[in-house]
Structure 1
Amino acid sequence: MEMISGQDETTIELKQGEHATFWREESYDSLECFKATFLRHEYSPHTHDTFVIGAVVSGYQRHKLKGSESVGGPGSVFMLNPEDVHDGRPLEQGYTYRMFYPSVRLMDEIAADLPGIRQSGSLFFRELMCDDKRIARALIEAHNVIEHSRDPLEKDEALFRSLGALIDKYGSWSTGLLEKREPRAIARVCDYMQAHFGDELNLEMLANIAGMSRAYFVRVFAKNMNQTPHSYLTDIRIRAARKLLNLGRDPMSVAIECGFFDQSHLNRHFKRRIGITPGAYKNMHAHQN
């Protein structure tokens, strides 16, 4: 794997024909930006604590979004909420896409200034993917501007106009960030995993917290969270790992602190969720700081 670093971004050369570029824009609440061409790489089902907004540039990707199977091609727009479970795998000759990972605060800031649509509650998207060539083109153009322009006003306008148009057309509002449907028992387990992600957890322990048998707990958790307890815990651990890597911590110590068996265990899950290795992710942030 070869790493090519520029002033504001790090490009990772993966398997033959595949590459990914990751960078962060601190002025937009640490907005992370990602562009990639994948021919074989497959994402495991996972979630983010940010929104996931972007578009397919070329090629086709098959994926499940909250359990629903679909295919995205040129003109497809992704607008996933925080905690929406999704995966992805290439079809035919692979695909190229560009993605933003805007925080809830940034999206709320943009939505607050849109005339006539702001309602009480929090922003979310009912439709997680759509075919909308106009919106897709605007997002891709904004992504290009954010990547290459040194003019802050040009970057501001491109980002706020493209995300604003998306929110204006597809945004909805709820009384909470997400429409929470999990029973209180599952919420207790999620809180416990958030607080103890670095510990060695097992099914019996989590089922006892929920007050359920192990078999019943697995079914109820998957039904309400759209992923298994292990997948949910891995997402928590990966988020914690990203924060530590951002601070310059070495992947080996991060792996142990976040509950992984060793660095190779972290590497495998990190790449299947983020698209690059922990070492490359750390180097990207070290280059920018």
Structure 2
Amino acid sequence: MSGSAQVKAWRPGIGGVVEVLHAYFPSHAYPSHTHDAWTVLIVDEGVVRYDLDHREHGLAQAQVSLLPPNVPHDGRSVRPEGFRKRVLYLEPDRLGAGLVGAAVDQPELVDPVLRHRIHQLHGVLADGQEDLEAQSRLALIEERLEQHLRRRVIDPPDRRDAGVARRLREVLDGHLPAGLTLDEAAELVHAHPTHLVRAFSREYGMPPHRYLTGRRVDLARRYLLDGRPATEVATLAGFYDQSHLTRHFRKMLGVTPGQFVKP
């Protein structure tokens, strides 16, 4: 593998899948961020290492990685030649309630049948002409993912300030894309601003402003996939202007908004 980053992203026409991403990154390292969707990841070339909820994990070609919604993670190549991956982003309600903790504890799945089914689904989605087949394959994949997770469900441990951090996250999500000041958030959550930042950073592994930026980038991805121009997307997603959007988009994904939707 060599050359520049390559990204192909689109929204397929089947329920449950909010985005499909095929990408090759020769050198890009994802900073810590979150998604509001389940992330189903397979690697076709190279090896990926990532931190999920303060713990390091690795993903090779034989595995499937399942990252839960709203849990911070990053990503980087283990090898100098980079990595090639394919990703399905599933709506947060596609997998049963109470399974986030199990995914956080063990996001890698060694299941050749599951990986092959995901590979097949990507082929059907890329073709874009067989909706019923895509829906059927997705149903089997979701069933198998749930089976893996339910085998290891345990009661989540109590963590200090988890409630404060969770309420702040809900406030940030509820004020997208415009955002709000820290003082405004503190008034809504009924906590001191400094305590808010510390609690949120301890719980989610990133400060509130970085979480908000990541959510705005997620919004920008959706608008770009809808075919809206980057100048309009910047405003819709809460960025000051197109250059502001491009700077954060490139930092997060390794490519510009234009490269993200390039055919």
Partner of 2:53: 66
Looking at structure 1, the residues matched to 122 and 157 of structure 2 have their Cα atoms a distance apart, in angstroms, of 29
After TM superposition, the structure 1 stretch with the greater mean CA deviation from structure 2, 187-196 or 231-240, is: 187-196
The RMSD of aligned alpha carbons is 3.2
After superposition, where does 1:80-229 map in structure 2 within 5 Å? 80-92=67-79, 93-107=81-95, 121-124=97-100, 125-126=102-103, 127-148=106-127, 150-171=129-150, 183-199=162-178, 201-207=180-186, 209-229=188-208
After TM superposition, the structure 1 stretch with the greater mean CA deviation from structure 2, 242-251 or 229-238, is: 242-251
Contact 1:45 1:86 in 2 (8 A): yes
1:52 aligns with 2:39: yes
Q: Shift of residue 244 of structure 1?
A: 3.7
- Structure 2: runs of 5+ lacking an equivalent: none
After TM superposition, the structure 1 stretch with the greater mean CA deviation from structure 2, 159-168 or 271-280, is: 271-280
Q: Shift of residue 247 of structure 1?
A: 4.5
Looking at structure 2, the residues matched to 252 and 96 of structure 1 have their Cα atoms a distance apart, in angstroms, of 29
Looking at structure 1, the residues matched to 112 and 163 of structure 2 have their Cα atoms a distance apart, in angstroms, of 41
Q: Shift of residue 212 of structure 1?
A: 4.6
Partner of 1:277: 256
Partner of 1:232: 211
Looking at structure 2, the residues matched to 46 and 268 of structure 1 have their Cα atoms a distance apart, in angstroms, of 15
- 1:62-116 residue CA offsets vs partner (Å, 9 max, x unmatched): 11112111221111211111112111111222112211111134445xxxxxxxx
Equivalent position amino acid for 1:46 in 2: H
Contact 1:56 1:96 in 2 (8 A): yes
SS at structure 2 position matched to 1:28: coil
Aligned CA distance change for structure 1 residues 151 and 282 (closer, same or farther; 3 Å): closer
SS at structure 1 position matched to 2:70: coil
Equivalent position amino acid for 2:84 in 1: T
Which structure dedicates a bigger proportion of its chain to strand?
Answer: 1
Contact 2:65 2:109 in 1 (8 A): yes
SS at structure 1 position matched to 2:22: strand
Partner of 2:230: 251
- Structure 1: runs of 5+ lacking an equivalent: 1-14, 109-120, 285-289
Equivalent position amino acid for 2:120 in 1: E
Q: Shift of residue 199 of structure 1?
A: 4.3
SS at structure 2 position matched to 1:97: strand
Q: Shift of residue 230 of structure 1?
A: 1.2
Contact 1:139 1:163 in 2 (8 A): no
- 1:240-281 residue CA offsets vs partner (Å, 9 max, x unmatched): 333443454432233234332321221122234345433345
After TM superposition, the structure 1 stretch with the greater mean CA deviation from structure 2, 24-33 or 40-49, is: 24-33
Looking at structure 1, the residues matched to 202 and 60 of structure 2 have their Cα atoms a distance apart, in angstroms, of 29
Q: How many residues align?
A: 255
Normalising to structure 1: TM-score of the pair? 0.73
